[in-house]
């Protein structure tokens, strides 16, 4: 199949705070978005890499130092919700791409080996996600009181890329739209069609930069990697 990847960078990054939208915040002197794009471009299987940014950030995007790669498309303009941004990215993909990967720019440390594994599973099964097994015991809590203990072995933390046959994902997105359903990831939309979503174990290092401490951790990991070289 012909694979394309949508790279979501149109959020504001409210929880990270700071003066720049999250995707344009720096990690080791380079923006999260530039890092994510470089990581995805290093996977040769993608024939199209589609960034999605906010209309307010087009100047910031133009100022990024990005690899010269003909697979890197002009940015699409995102929407108010993550799901709207995915829809904008999907609409910008040429028709020949029938396998679509969706990735959060905030997961800027994604590894090419994980990308290859989830793309392969997505092609084979129709829907596949990277996910990490949960390490802690999980409690369901209401008003500060534990209601139950979940079976940890059954719980995984969803990551991106998430990869789908394009026609299947388009159907899932359309159903979510007509039902007024907003998901926090893309697999949820496909699950709502009753389709199985295949899980590929991802690296713990593929965490999403959400809070200031996540950025601080990514900085420490980067330093450690540079020192180890
Ligand atoms: N995203 C997007 N369009 C939106 C909302 C989010 O493209 N309307 C993207 C973000 O840029 C991010 C990814 O979706 O790369 C995951 O979202 P999240 O981590 O929630 O990022 P933000 O929405 O930017 O952060 P916050 O929720 O803290 O404001
Ligand atoms: Mg958000």
Q: How would you classify the pairing of strands 99-104 and 156-165?
A: antiparallel
Residue 194, CB half-sphere, CA atoms under 13 Å: how many?
0
Ligand 1, atom 1, residue with closest C-alpha: 11
Does the Cβ of 17 fall within 6 Å of ligand 1? no
Task: List pLDDT tens digits, range 5-33.
Answer: 999 999 999 999 999 999 999 999 999 99
Does the Cβ of 210 fall within 6 Å of ligand 1? yes
State the pTM of this model: 0.97
Q: Ligand 2 centre from 82 Cα, in Å?
A: 7
- CA 189 to chain centroid: 15
Q: Average pLDDT of 63-82?
A: 97
Does the Cβ of 42 fall within 6 Å of ligand 1? no
What domains can you pick out in the chain, each with its CATH number? 3-228 (3.90.550.10)
Residue corresponding to tokens 């906010």: 54
Atom of ligand 1 nearest to the CA of 21: 24
The answer on pLDDT for 229 being more than 90 is no
The ligand that comes nearest to the alpha carbon of residue 107 is: 1
**CA-CA distances (angstroms) from residue 178 to 35, 165, 181, 182?**
35, 20, 8, 11
Per-residue model confidence (pLDDT) at position 217: 97
The ligand that comes nearest to the alpha carbon of residue 103 is: 1
Per-residue model confidence (pLDDT) at position 103: 98
Average pLDDT across the chain, whole number: 97
In eight-state DSSP terms, residue 137 is P
Nearest alpha-carbon partner for 12 in 68, 65, 55, 73? 55
Q: What angle do CA 130, 133, 136 make, to 5 degrees?
A: 145
219: tokens are 């900085």
φ/ψ (deg, to 5) at 165: -60, 130
Does the Cβ of 185 fall within 6 Å of ligand 1? no
Task: List pLDDT tens digits, range 167-220.
Answer: 999 999 999 999 999 999 999 999 999 999 999 999 999 999 999 999 999 999
């Amino acid at each position: 199949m012909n694979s394309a990847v949508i790279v979501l960078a149109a959020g504001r990054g409210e929880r990270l705070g700071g003066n720049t939208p999250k995707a344009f915040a720096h990690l080791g002197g380079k923006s999260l978005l530039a890092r994510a794009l470089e990581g995805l471009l290093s996977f040769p299987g993608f024939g199209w890499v589609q960034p999605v940014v906010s209309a307010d950030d087009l100047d910031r995007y133009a100022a990024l130092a990005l690899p010269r790669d003909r697979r890197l498309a002009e940015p699409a303009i995102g929407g108010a919700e993550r799901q709207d941004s995915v829809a904008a990215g999907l609409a910008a993909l040429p028709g020949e791409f029938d396998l679509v990967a969706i990735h959060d720019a905030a997961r800027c440390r994604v590894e090419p080996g994980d990308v290859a594994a989830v793309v392969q599973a997505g092609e084979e099964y129709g829907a596949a996600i990277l996910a990490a097994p949960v390490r802690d015991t999980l409690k369901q809590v209401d008003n500060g009181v534990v209601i139950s203990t979940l079976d940890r072995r059954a719980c995984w933390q969803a990551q991106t890329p998430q990869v789908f046959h394009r026609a299947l994902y388009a159907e899932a997105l359309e159903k979510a739209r007509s039902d007024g359903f907003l998901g926090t990831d893309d697999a949820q939309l496909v699950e709502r069609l009753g389709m199985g979503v295949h899980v590929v174990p991802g690296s713990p290092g593929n965490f999403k930069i959400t809070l200031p401490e996540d950025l601080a951790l990514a900085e420490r990991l980067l330093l450690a990697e540079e020192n180890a070289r």
